[in-house]
Amino acid sequence: MCGIVVYVGRKGDGAPAVVLEGLKRLEYRGYDSWGIAALDSRGRLATLRRVGKIGGASADRVTRLLGSGSVAVGHTRWATHGGISERNAHPQVDCKGRVAIVHNGIIENYQELKAGLVARKHRFASETDTEILAHYIEEGLARGQSFSDATRSIAKRLKGRSAFIAMDSKGGQIAAVRLGAPLIVGIGKKGEMFVSSDVNGFLERTNKVMYIDDGEMALLSFGKKAQKAPEFLNVSRGTKVRKRIIGIDWKRERESKLGYDHFLIKEIMEQKHTIAQAINQDDAKMRQVANRIKNAFGVFIVGAGTAGRVCAAGEYLFSDIAKRHVNSTVASEFSSYRHYLTKKTLMIAVSQSGETVDLLDAIDVAKSKGARILSLVNVFGSTLMRVSDDFLMLNAGAEKAVASTKATTAQLSLLTLLAYATAGRLKEGKRLLLNTAEQVNDMLNPRYEERIKRLARRLRRSRDVFIIGRGVNYPIAEEAAIKLQETSYIHAHGFAGGELKHGPLALISRGSPCIALVANDDTKHETISNAMEVKARGGYVIGVAPENNEVFDYWLKVPDAGVASPIVNIIPVQVLAYHLAVLRGINPDYPRNLAKSVTVK
């Protein structure tokens, strides 16, 4: 949620256009307005703020409005405090128009902080919590504090996870402050410096980064005070922090659509390869992690949203494969389990972005009890990776669509492999999953996609879709519902097939679509029986199964993947969700009200 891009370059580099380019690369994070602040030809602060999508904004127009100087700060905003309007878009400025602020996250104590400013007659131009930062820095400068000290003074008073950029247009400095939300510095050629909430904001121009850790700030200088490298400080103490430059290995071609109409369908189709990539792990490390799982006194698998459903499936996988009980929970509820945590507890944290605020908060709870953290993550260098005791990469490559697809099946694959490793059957697990990857490759062909498109045309005007599953496919039914909700805006409800008679059956009427996720396991016959109950009430039954059945009105064939059935069963629903979105005139890459990385509570 929200995106930040900062560029400090040389005279005439066209900084506003560079920042605009970076912001466009962060569109997938989710936003409703955007803005840029830059220094004009006279060295004065100029701002541009707009509501709506940034995709149509041209570099030429932004340059005409803001100039082609060497410094600019940009932001895409996902509204929290204050409505969606130009006055609430970032950057926000102080009373004197000297300090510009862009900000991700929420300042939980902003009302208390704002009350003091109001009492001291500051003029507010927005309804945001962000604007108070500009005014407090303004006050610090007026008292004779340095820009660095003024910024640290207010940063130390903030509550809640956030990150912000403060630009002092007269003093020639930019402060990038991280207080729980991600910020990364990029080091470019010939003195160029970048800051972004995501490496995608500048990865087109450099892959050399310096990480800002929590409770730290980076100082970038420009103009007469320009320095070749940023200075890093501890926010609380003001002491300097040494940093090193790290190279990020992320292939740019994976972030283009490669001829597809949307990122979502491209990423769905990439599952032909990413399942195999996910299990391309070092055997020795997998056995080491498996030993930690076996020796732990309590294992929790924790994730948020789609990853939370994957974790629930993981609980079944460990029970079935390793005959071992693990606990799964969604990250936002994890703190309720804190009384069970000890130094012998192992938390397996699952995330695509590695920046989800609920998961990072859950890790704080676990660490406060001395628990060890193992993360399964897709973004190298993410906060999750760096706060974990150990990590395994998903190897799915960049995922740009908000709805997660290839990262989801990568997570399922890696958890399945971990369960096999814990059972002492690592090679067997690898063989199963490599075979599953080959079967997915065969399944995702044009004829199969066309069959799903025909189903989408039938369902496009549906108001509700029900999805049932049993065993390990019960959480996959819930994940299938998430996919339909977030892409097509159709109300979808996923639940355990055995719960039909405990309420949901009352919602079934003639023509109600119901997707039955069937695996060739000990839940098969019961799931088919549940589908028959739906059909007996007039429902339209769509079977996702290895074999056809008379109860199915429409059959989507999937491979018989055994215990890996969650991987193959979710993919046709992903394709269905994509084509429903397209038929309903919805952009499947950027659903309304949602963001790729949820960095605010």
The answer to whether the CB of 377 falls within 8 A of the CB of 391 is yes
Q: Which of 266, 406, 524, 596 is catalytic?
A: 596
Look at the block and give the residue holding tokens 């190897």: 395
Report how far residue 130's alpha carbon sits from residue 164's, in angstroms, rounded to the nearest whole number.
Answer: 9
Pairing mode of beta strands 390-393, 372-377: parallel
Q: What angle do CA 385, 386, 391 make, to 5 degrees?
A: 40
95 is an active site residue: no
Contacts of 476 (CB under 8 A, 6+ apart): 309, 313, 469, 494, 517, 566, 569, 570
Token pair in block for residue 498 = 């055995």
Angle at which helices 406-422 and 565-583 pack, to 10 degrees? 170
The answer to whether the CB of 109 falls within 8 A of the CB of 159 is yes
Using DSSP's 3-state secondary structure scheme, residue 217 falls into strand
Report how far residue 140's alpha carbon sits from residue 77's, in angstroms, rounded to the nearest whole number.
Answer: 26
2 is an active site residue: yes
The answer to whether the CB of 113 falls within 8 A of the CB of 157 is yes
Token pair in block for residue 30 = 């989710």
Of 31, 105, 213, 24, which is closest to residue 600 (Cα–Cα)?
A: 105
Q: Which of 2, 243, 266, 311 is catalytic?
A: 2
The answer to whether the CB of 229 falls within 8 A of the CB of 247 is no
Report how far residue 42's alpha carbon sits from residue 82's, in angstroms, rounded to the nearest whole number.
Answer: 32
Report how far residue 50's alpha carbon sits from residue 30's, in angstroms, rounded to the nearest whole number.
Answer: 15
Of 185, 170, 251, which is closest to residue 216 (Cα–Cα)?
A: 185
Report how far residue 312's alpha carbon sits from residue 315's, in angstroms, rounded to the nearest whole number.
Answer: 5
Dihedral sign from CA coordinates of 165, 171, 173, 175 = negative
Buried b (16+ CB within 10 A) or exposed e, 375-410: bbbbbbbbbbbebbeebbbbbbbbbbbbbbbbbbbb
Establish how many alpha carbons lie within 13 A of residue 165's alpha carbon, considering only the half-sphere containing its beta carbon: 34
342: exposed, middle or buried (Cβ count in 10 Å: 0-12, 13-18, 19+): exposed
Of 251, 252, 254, which is closest to residue 263 (Cα–Cα)?
A: 254
The answer to whether the CB of 71 falls within 8 A of the CB of 7 is yes
Number of residues written out for the chain: 601
DSSP letters for 70-107: SEEEEEEE--SSS-SSTTTSSPEE-TTS-EEEEEEE--
455: exposed, middle or buried (Cβ count in 10 Å: 0-12, 13-18, 19+): buried
Catalytically annotated residues: 2, 596
